[in-house]
């Protein structure tokens, strides 16, 4: 383990911390949501993840898993609610309303499962 060095700033010593470079891959919607949640509600865990360089991979994993769950759950819930292409052709406004409601329900389930840990 490398030795921790400090820089004097007035009467205080500040540790010289440097993080390694992270890849330039966007963390996505759900990764951003979890990052915001951790920063606002779990600051100790957030700081720990940053300093151990585990935050970015975690956010990428959360986003991937949440998108996969959305893709798996939405068609099943649509089928159970009777939201079909036939309904889309017959009554487009009702179809849009039902789709918005179903997407909001699935997103709330995803947030409870992946974001608000």
The rounded distance, in Å, linking the Cα atoms of 82 and 7 is: 65
End-to-end alpha-carbon separation of the chain, Å? Answer: 31
Instruction: Print pLDDT tens along the chain (117 aa).
Output: 467 788 999 999 888 878 778 778 899 999 999 999 999 999 999 999 998 899 999 999 999 999 999 999 999 999 999 999 999 999 999 999 999 999 999 999 999 999 998
Percentage of residues in the chain with pLDDT exceeding 70? 98
What are the domain boundaries of the chain?
A: 28-115
pTM of the model: 0.81
């Amino acid at each position: 383990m490398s030795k921790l060095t400090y820089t004097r700033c007035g009467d205080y010593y500040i540790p010289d911390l440097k993080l390694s470079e992270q890849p330039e891959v966007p963390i996505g919607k759900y990764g951003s949501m979890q990052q915001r949640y951790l920063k606002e509600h779990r600051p100790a865990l957030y700081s720990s993840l940053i300093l151990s360089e585990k935050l970015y991979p975690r956010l990428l994993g959360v986003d991937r898993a949440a998108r996969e769950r959305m893709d798996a759950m939405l068609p099943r819930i649509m089928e159970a609610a009777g939201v079909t292409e036939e309904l889309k052709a017959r009554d487009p406004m009702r179809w849009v309303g039902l789709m918005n409601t179903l997407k909001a329900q699935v997103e709330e389930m995803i947030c409870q499962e992946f974001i608000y840990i």
